[in-house]
Structure 1
Amino acid sequence: MERHEIEAFLVLAEELHFRRTAERLGLAQGRVSQTIKKLERRLGVQLFERTSRRVALTPAGARLRDDLAPAYLRVRQAVARAVAAGKGFTGELHAGFSSQWAGDLLYQAAEVFTKAHPECAVRVHEVPLTDPFAALRAGQVDLQLTEFPVAEPDLEAGPVVFSEPRALLVPHRHPFARRASVSLEDLARTPLVTLSGDIPDYWREHHYPSRTPQGRTVVHGTAADSWAEVLALVATGRGVSPAALRAAQYHSRPCLAFVPLRDAPPVEYGLVWPRRCRTARVRAFCATVLERRAAQDDTPAPASPTGEGVPAGARPLTLSR
């Protein structure tokens, strides 16, 4: 049997309707009918009973369906596994995130990706903001959805996947907590709680500026070892901290307030991977992340990173978290 005959027979055996079978196969209805008649003549048995009202399998047709369907499925699976192996879509892909909302998107993309590439498992891991690129460089993750900017010579970045409005995290009794919004100039009026660790200077300056737009000094106070420590330090009055406004959905508590930073650019998040690890598997997963995000917004996806990767610091980017 030819492949087109197998497919026509199995779909018709499922649908028992020539028009629906033709629609599923993308063929003319007459073409499906001719294929089935030709197959029956060659086999010398009738596979379907046809009347003006119904189509039904004959005993011979039912036997062929029961034997052929699982065998053809195994053939298709074998071919798919061979193609996946050839493209590098086997084994495990490790994806990192540095904020919970980025992690949510990665988990959704992983589910879609593994359905399309069942031979490749996707493992999602949180990476610490206090050492944002260590997991990439150590090979612990293949790519990462993280806060921009990223300007590392050994890393590449894709397009911005999504952005979030900026807020200032303050104690609930702080004077700023009673405001509808604050400005970047207000950062000079209170110490900032920042992050410690092996963070590049440009990244730290974007996250926690040392001066306001008008040149006023911003005091950096206590440095935290994690985002949980940032929350605790702010809650106990040690300072304030820039944050994505969306963090309020994940970290809302009575002792904290997220006040919009009205004149601050949004926090941008994008995909980053080592230049040496830009494989077909990584590119395919990046495309899945972009498609999944576009589906959430019902907007066209940004261009997927299928051409040359852009330098990871090539766009004007912003504070983070």
Structure 2
Amino acid sequence: MLERHEIEAFLTLAEELHFRRTSERLGLAQGRVSQTIKRLERRIGAPLFERTSRHVALTAIGARLRDDLLPGYRQIQRAVARATEAGRGFGGTLRVGYSGPMAAEVILKAAERFRTRYPGSDVQIQEVQLCDPFGPIRSGQVDLQVTERPLAEPDLTAGPLLLSEPRALMVPDRHPLARRTSVRLEDLAEAPLLTIDGAIPRYWLDHHYPRHTPAGRAVPRGRTATYWLELLTLVAAGAGVSPACATVERYNGRPGITWVPFEDAPPVDFGFLWPATAETARIRAFVDLCPTLDPPAGVSAPWVGGSSGAGTGGPS
């Protein structure tokens, strides 16, 4: 049976056809490589290489041995690489949740690159509803999540920001605010504010759906919705107004709604989060991949100069 170092020396020399380059690749002395090949040839009982002072070439027997050994050797290398990746936390399936179609675009691109970079791994993504922003991560449905900030949950780790979005106000077409080229936070006192209801922390709701304007005027509360698409239906029906990420109009624009940009509101920030006790190398590797990707058109990313400050305003 051949030893591993004999196989590596033979296959490397069969590729390089040069003893010095082979010794450099293997980190061995050139004489050690020569001795290994000679010992292997004695065991085989025939020359594997033709050698001259200027030339190294495989013999017919050497070429056949290379062709027989190479597929199995590469299969062993792949198996060891997969096992190493799994041991480091890269193998298997990473489940990533997201809220907002802009985040989904980045996550899909990152998933494709992650699968290529770490063979044997997979990434599954799923939407996280605004009515239960932290339920899936706590129940184990997802391992990693991208959600609108703020985050003040002791059992969850706030990772880096992914996207930073300008805000707009969704207004019924027939409302006076729809004729404006922009709105201010003070204008929230001019119409019922439609909000999301569910298992949502009060600080998160107050951040995205403020109860008072900056001047202290009360913001009238309108109806609540469980899901994002319900908000669109209510706005289009004239039930009130609701803040949102401005670029979401590209994905969810519909008749009956005018999207009016805010002129004085900070952006909505989307950031990674994961369980505080369940951080893995696989999670960190995926998070670190995202800054290498281009953000969706019209969307600002913190790593390319976008704002990283938290804002008071509507989610996606």
TM bin (shorter chain): 0.7 to 0.9
Confirm or deny: 8 A CA contact 2:105 2:296 kept in the other structure.
no
- Report what 2:44 is aligned to: none
Deviates more, 1:151-160 or 1:77-86: 77-86
Confirm or deny: 8 A CA contact 1:130 1:197 kept in the other structure.
yes
Confirm or deny: 8 A CA contact 1:89 1:281 kept in the other structure.
yes
Cα distance per residue 1:19-47 (max 9 Å; x no partner): xxx7xx9x69xx9x999877765555355
Shift of 1:126: 0.9
- Report what 2:9 is aligned to: 5
Shift in alpha-carbon separation, 1:35–1:177, aligned structure 2, 3 A: farther
Shift in alpha-carbon separation, 1:281–1:233, aligned structure 2, 3 A: same
- Report what 2:145 is aligned to: 144
**What secondary structure, in the 3-state scheme, does the structure 2 residue paired with 1:277 have?**
coil
Question: Matched residues in 1 for 2:248 and 2:190: separation?
Answer: 23
Shift in alpha-carbon separation, 1:159–1:70, aligned structure 2, 3 A: same
Shift of 1:156: 0.9
Confirm or deny: 8 A CA contact 2:98 2:104 kept in the other structure.
yes
Shift in alpha-carbon separation, 1:112–1:237, aligned structure 2, 3 A: same
Question: Matched residues in 2 for 1:12 and 1:204: separation?
Answer: 65
- Report what 1:159 is aligned to: 160
Q: TM-score, normalised by structure 2?
A: 0.80
Shift in alpha-carbon separation, 1:173–1:286, aligned structure 2, 3 A: same
Confirm or deny: 8 A CA contact 1:161 1:293 kept in the other structure.
no
- Report what 2:126 is aligned to: 125
Task: Name structure 1 gaps, 5 residues minimum.
Answer: 303-314
Question: Matched residues in 2 for 1:213 and 1:47: separation?
Answer: 83
Aligned length: 298
Confirm or deny: 8 A CA contact 2:49 2:56 kept in the other structure.
no
Confirm or deny: 8 A CA contact 1:113 1:288 kept in the other structure.
yes
Deviates more, 1:154-163 or 1:291-300: 291-300
**What secondary structure, in the 3-state scheme, does the structure 2 residue paired with 1:246 have?**
helix
Shift in alpha-carbon separation, 1:34–1:192, aligned structure 2, 3 A: farther
Amino acid at match of 2:216: G
Aligned runs of 1:264-279 on 2, under 5 Å?
264-279=265-280
Shift of 1:251: 0.8
Question: Matched residues in 2 for 1:246 and 1:11: separation?
Answer: 53
Say if 2:63 is the partner of 1:62. Answer: yes
Confirm or deny: 8 A CA contact 1:166 1:266 kept in the other structure.
yes
Shift of 1:160: 1.2
Amino acid at match of 2:193: L
Shift of 1:99: 1.2
- Report what 1:245 is aligned to: 246
Cα distance per residue 1:188-229 (max 9 Å; x no partner): 111111101111111001111111111111112010110110
Shift in alpha-carbon separation, 1:73–1:295, aligned structure 2, 3 A: farther
Aligned runs of 1:188-267 on 2, under 5 Å?
188-267=189-268
Shift in alpha-carbon separation, 1:261–1:301, aligned structure 2, 3 A: closer
Return the index of the structure with the highest Cα Rg: 2
Shift in alpha-carbon separation, 1:178–1:9, aligned structure 2, 3 A: farther
RMSD, aligned CA: 3.6
Percentage of matched positions with identical amino acids: 45
- Report what 2:115 is aligned to: 114
Task: Name structure 2 gaps, 5 residues minimum.
Answer: 42-46
Amino acid at match of 2:109: Q
Confirm or deny: 8 A CA contact 1:184 1:213 kept in the other structure.
yes
Confirm or deny: 8 A CA contact 1:130 1:198 kept in the other structure.
yes
Q: TM-score, normalised by structure 1?
A: 0.79
**What secondary structure, in the 3-state scheme, does the structure 2 residue paired with 1:109 have?**
helix
**What secondary structure, in the 3-state scheme, does the structure 2 residue paired with 1:89 have?**
coil
Deviates more, 1:251-260 or 1:92-101: 251-260
Shift of 1:128: 0.9
Confirm or deny: 8 A CA contact 2:14 2:58 kept in the other structure.
no
Shift of 1:110: 1.6
Amino acid at match of 1:5: A
Shift of 1:72: 1.7
Shift of 1:85: 2.9
Cα distance per residue 1:263-300 (max 9 Å; x no partner): 11011000011112112222222222343357999999
Shift of 1:249: 1.4
Question: Matched residues in 2 for 1:87 and 1:217: separation?
Answer: 53
**What secondary structure, in the 3-state scheme, does the structure 1 residue paired with 2:187 have?**
helix
